């Protein structure tokens, strides 16, 4: 009998990555208050990597409580500049501020993924990618925001690499799956270890 697998995410990108890898799963968004979880973390665990890991685990456990016999994949991604953690912009004005802060600097995308069954954490990892943003002009930024207003607010970095957001960067150090928010290769290995992925 096949082992039930649930992705605790409503992300179309993450679902596509898993589907393209040949996995049979259900996708169900978790219902957690991310900012409350973040605030409840001890001060020593509020670094960008720990926040991503704890949010991924919280999401997986939320779905695991409803489906205790299933293997649940939890994932989350934080974006950090030094120890500063960014959140999705609430407006185009905030998006402009975020991109101005990132301009000329290297920020990090910290992508966490975990596997939970019956509330028990079976495995987790966080993989990071370093993103060097170029020195773009104010005119270019204004045009970019206008052309991409709809998609910008759905991404913490106000960009999507598969779109015009790629124009923001000089260099990228990290794999594509991590940047999209799901470290796929270590996850596939963990699923094989659990006998779920028979590739």
Q: What is the set of active-site residues?
A: 76
Rounded to whole angstroms, what are the CA distances from 175 to 9, 131, 181, 185, 186? 21, 11, 10, 10, 12
Rounded to 5 degrees, what angle do the CA atoms 92, 53, 61 make?
105
Non-local CB neighbours of 128 within 8 Å, separated by 6+ positions: 49, 108, 109, 110, 111, 174, 178
Distance CA 127, CA 113 (A): 9
CA 9 to chain centre: 10
Cβ pair 149, 92 in contact under 8 A: yes
- Axis-axis angle for helices 138-147, 92-102 (nearest 10): 140
What 3-state DSSP class applies to 122? strand
């Amino acid at each position: 009998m096949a082992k039930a697998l649930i992705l605790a995410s409503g992300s179309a990108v993450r679902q596509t990555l898993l589907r393209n890898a040949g996995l049979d799963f259900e996708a169900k968004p978790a219902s957690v208050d991310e900012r409350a979880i973040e605030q409840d973390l001890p001060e020593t665990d509020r670094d960008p990597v720990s926040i991503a890991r704890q949010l991924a685990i919280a999401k997986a456990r939320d779905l695991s409580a409803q489906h205790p016999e299933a293997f649940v994949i939890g994932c989350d991604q934080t974006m950090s500049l030094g120890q500063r953690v960014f959140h999705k912009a609430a407006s185009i004005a905030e998006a402009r501020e975020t991109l101005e802060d990132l301009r000329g600097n290297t920020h990090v995308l910290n992508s966490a993924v975990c596997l939970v069954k019956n509330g028990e954490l079976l495995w987790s990892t966080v993989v990071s990618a370093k993103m060097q943003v170029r020195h773009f002009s104010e005119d270019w930024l204004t045009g970019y925001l206008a052309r991409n207003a709809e998609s910008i607010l759905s991404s913490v970095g106000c960009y999507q690499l598969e779109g015009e957001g790629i124009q923001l960067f000089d260099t990228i150090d990290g794999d594509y799956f991590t940047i999209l928010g799901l470290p796929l290769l270590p996850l596939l290995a963990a699923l094989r270890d659990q006998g779920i992925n028979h590739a």
